[in-house]
């Protein structure tokens, strides 16, 4: 994503309104920290090895509960009962998560943990997004490249909302990434059995300009809309498409 859409967040200020990180233009803005999102508010999440979950939530009240305890207080599943899904486009944007709630019925806390992704890149796709005509991102192999993205820890119900949002089976396919060790959370761990949404066909295949994909970090949405080129024959990813429901966490 464009560097300008990564915004720092002061942990002293702690909770933030989702509107501080607008979704337009795509892929939207995201805080430079892990967070949980609920009721229009994002709460920073920091790694802490003394917490049973390995993470603590900055609530703004002076207390920093374990993430699993905070989730339990809100009647939600703990981290180990959620499936990790790589978020490399707008799904890491707080205001977009708010739209998922109002537009597609997403419920419960959304857990979004920041991640460093090696050998992977968000690149501009060959197609446009039906909802607003913007050019979306797709995932592609990128030897020698490291980018900062995020991992959603989604409940089955939340992941099915993401399925609808991504047009699973038509625009994007749900896959398991074989090289998930290339993705590391802020606590240094690699998500197990990491899922991702990747291009389902030529409509959203990586756009090749001069024979090369264009990384989203290199070009903002306005300039990306002016690109012309050819759909790539492959995204180069080592992955397996998921048919039906993925296995339980």
DSSP codes joined into one string, 91-108 = GG-HHHHHHHHHHH---S
Q: How far apart are the first and last CA of the chain?
A: 28
Domains and CATH numbers, the chain: 3-241 (3.10.490.10)
Alpha helix stretches (DSSP H) within 74-155: 94-104
The answer to whether 54 touches 47, Cβ cutoff 8 Å, is yes
Residue 221: per-residue pLDDT: 96
Nearest to 33 by CA among 57, 50, 53, 4: 57
* Distances, alpha carbon 162 to alpha carbons 17, 51, 72, 97, 154, in Å: 22, 29, 23, 10, 9
Q: What is the pTM of this model?
A: 0.93
Residue 1 banded pLDDT, cuts 50, 70, 90: very low
Residue in the structure block whose two tokens are 């899904």: 85
Residue 36: beta bridge partners?
43, 111
Residue 12: per-residue pLDDT: 58
Residues sharing a CB contact under 8 Å with residue 219, sequence separation 6 or more, in sequence order: 2, 124, 227
pLDDT surpasses 70 at 15: yes
The answer to whether 81 touches 89, Cβ cutoff 8 Å, is no
How much is the average pLDDT of 180-206? 94
Distance CA(111)–CA(87), nearest Å, equals 11
Residues sharing a CB contact under 8 Å with residue 37, sequence separation 6 or more, in sequence order: 18, 43, 94, 97, 98, 109, 110, 112
Nearest to 1 by CA among 27, 23, 39, 36: 27
pLDDT surpasses 70 at 8: no
Give CA angle at 168 (165, 172), nearest 5°: 95
% of the chain exceeding 70 in pLDDT: 95
Residue 4 banded pLDDT, cuts 50, 70, 90: very low
Residue 248: per-residue pLDDT: 81
115-172 per-position pLDDT tens digit: 999 999 999 999 999 889 999 999 999 999 999 999 999 999 999 999 999 999 999 9
The answer to whether 149 touches 92, Cβ cutoff 8 Å, is yes
Residue 181: per-residue pLDDT: 81
% of the chain exceeding 90 in pLDDT: 88
Judge residue 229's burial from the number of C-beta atoms within 10 Å of its C-beta, 0-12 exposed, 13-18 middle, 19 or more buried: middle
Residue 7 banded pLDDT, cuts 50, 70, 90: low
């Amino acid at each position: 994503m464009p560097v300008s859409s990564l915004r720092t967040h002061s942990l002293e200020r702690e909770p933030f309104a989702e509107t501080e990180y607008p979704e337009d233009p795509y892929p939207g803005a995201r805080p430079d920290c892990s967070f949980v999102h609920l009721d229009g508010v994002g709460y920073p999440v920091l790694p802490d090895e003394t917490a049973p979950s390995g993470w603590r939530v900055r609530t703004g009240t002076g207390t920093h509960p374990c993430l699993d305890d905070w989730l339990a207080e809100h009647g939600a599943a703990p981290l180990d009962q959620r499936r990790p899904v790589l978020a490399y486009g707008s799904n890491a944007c707080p205001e977009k998560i708010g739209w998922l709630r109002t537009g597609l019925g997403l419920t419960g806390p959304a857990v979004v943990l920041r991640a460093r992704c090696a050998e992977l890149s968000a690149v501009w796709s060959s197609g446009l997004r039906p909802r607003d005509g913007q050019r979306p991102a797709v995932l592609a192999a990128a030897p020698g490249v490291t980018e900062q993205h995020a991992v959603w820890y989604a409940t089955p119900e939340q992941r099915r909302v993401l399925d609808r949002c991504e047009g699973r089976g038509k625009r994007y396919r749900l896959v398991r990434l074989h090289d998930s060790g290339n993705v590391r959370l802020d606590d240094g761990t690699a998500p197990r059995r990491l899922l991702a949404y990747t291009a389902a066909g030529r409509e959203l295949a990586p756009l090749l300009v001069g024979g090369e994909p264009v990384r989203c970090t290199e070009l903002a949405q306005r300039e990306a809309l002016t690109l012309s080129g050819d759909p790539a024959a492959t995204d180069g990813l080592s992955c397996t498409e998921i048919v039906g429901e993925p296995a339980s966490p």
